[in-house]
Amino acid sequence: MIKKPLKWLDDNIEKIIIMFTYSTMAGIICVEVVRRFVMNQQVPWSTSIPILLFLWVTWFGASYNVKQRTHLRMSEIRERMPYNMQFVCQCIDAVLWIVFAGIVIFFTITQTYLAYDNFAIVEGTDNVMQWWFYTATPIAWSLIIFRVLQNLWQDIVTYRNKLPFSLQASLLE
């Protein structure tokens, strides 16, 4: 009963977050451009909130691309390598992604906590906290680690079964 909703969430979480934040960002910009040129008015936070929402779009976009195996690939080189070396490269990729993600998470949690601890408020607002937006980075990078581990598991299964690795990924899958 819980497996089907979790599978759906696994397939769609990045897409939902990207679509929601991008739509919100685009909506704010569109409305405020019209207000600025038609009514000579503008909400003070209309330039700062979209920039902060962009954090959510970019980092969850990176997670989606890691999931689809379209982020930072060198497939032309790997296709020419022996099968065992392809697997070794897949494992090295996973280790490097996890190490880099750990570094990013460590430092962005510190940055987020500083914004929280100092009551940093988004410019142009009275009560919208910056740390709400900064949480995107450690959350998305944690999801990147999860996606890397999913891909690594898939690579291990592929290697054990002596199947060819899928080195040519498509963002449209």
Work out how many domains the chain is built from and give that number: 1
Quick one: pLDDT band at residue 169, thresholds 50, 70, 90?
A: low
Q: Is residue 168 part of a domain?
A: no
Q: pTM score > 0.85 for this model?
A: yes
Q: Are 171 and 68 in contact (CB under 8 A)?
A: yes
Q: Are 155 and 170 in contact (CB under 8 A)?
A: no
132: containing domain: 3-160
Q: Is residue 165 part of a domain?
A: no
Q: Is residue 14 part of a domain?
A: yes
Q: How many CA atoms lie within 13 A of 158 on its CB side?
A: 18
Average pLDDT over residues 106-131: 94
Q: Is residue 64 part of a domain?
A: yes
How confident is the model over 38-79, as pLDDT tens digits? 999 999 999 999 999 999 999 999 999 999 888 767 777 888
Q: Is residue 92 part of a domain?
A: yes
Quick one: pLDDT band at residue 173, thresholds 50, 70, 90?
A: low
Q: Is residue 19 part of a domain?
A: yes
